[in-house]
Amino acid sequence: MEVVDISSLEKLFRDHIKGFFEERMDNVVVGVGRTALDVIRRIVPIEMRRVSYYALLEDRHEAPDPEGVLEVSSASQAEVKVLSEGSLSVLGEQVLGQKNAVDVEVLIVPSEAAEERVRMVPYLERMGRSLSFLIFADLSDEFARKSMVTLSDLMSARKIPHLCVALKPPRESRNLRAAAEWAIGTLEGSGRFLRTYERHLPRALSERRKAEERLLELMAREVETLSMKITSAVEISKYEIMVLATR
């Protein structure tokens, strides 16, 4: 009877688990829409972590943004062309890369009519493997609103742990508020992890720009803090699994 070397089998098992973790980020922060990108650009990392930052923008054939790292999708839903940081040429315009507090990869989603879940799949694939995700969106924006729900649906179907962080429109914007409540109700009704924030804008137009800037700074700190808490929980779980694997 052949003797099986259990110790070698245990080492193989531990290496497999370790490799699984090393191939994945602890957390990926996904900002959906222009406001979310503005928030992520203001993030100052609290500590070194295995985290990636992405932003999804809808291609409305507007002039390209003058800042940041851009990734422009082709017309094909399954292909994403990557443009490196630095001096870029996009749609015939010159774009100057700018170093941010965190590296943000911006994915441009074609606005062609397509079933929402279908057109989002390649972007979820592009953002890579991660043990958890944080999706942030300003629910005042239709693209951000629908994309948050769609991404959450896709992640839930794949059993990917994720947290949805939503910024509500002001109460005075009744139509936008109603649309936002639909998205929130959809997520809550599906049992998703959701955190919402109110947007309060002063009545005086002269004060609104300052208030909006303060709001973006606040949301940047909130998103980074939540991401840090998620990665801390992930690290504890990874440690516990490795301890069990070595017993």
Report yes or no on 3 lying in a domain.
no
Report yes or no on 167 lying in a domain.
yes
Task: Please provide residue 203's backbone torsions phi and psi, each rounded to the nearest 5 degrees.
Answer: -70, -35
Report yes or no on 8 lying in a domain.
no
Report yes or no on 168 lying in a domain.
yes
Report yes or no on 4 lying in a domain.
no
Please list the ranges in the chain whose pLDDT falls under 70.
1-6, 60-101, 112-117, 246-247
Residue 78: partners with Cβ closer than 8 Å, 6 or more residues away:
122
CATH number assigned to the domain comprising residue 128: 3.40.50.1440
Report yes or no on 17 lying in a domain.
no
d(CA 35, CA 42): 11
Domain span including residue 162: 24-245
Report yes or no on 85 lying in a domain.
yes
39-77: pLDDT as tens digits: 999 998 877 788 999 999 988 654 444 343 333 333 333
Instruction: Specify the number of domains making up the chain.
Output: 1
Beta strands in 14-97 (DSSP E): 27-32, 51-59, 69-73, 80-82, 87-90, 93-96
pTM, entire model: 0.77
d(CA 197, CA 177): 13
Report yes or no on 7 lying in a domain.
no
d(CA 234, CA 211): 34
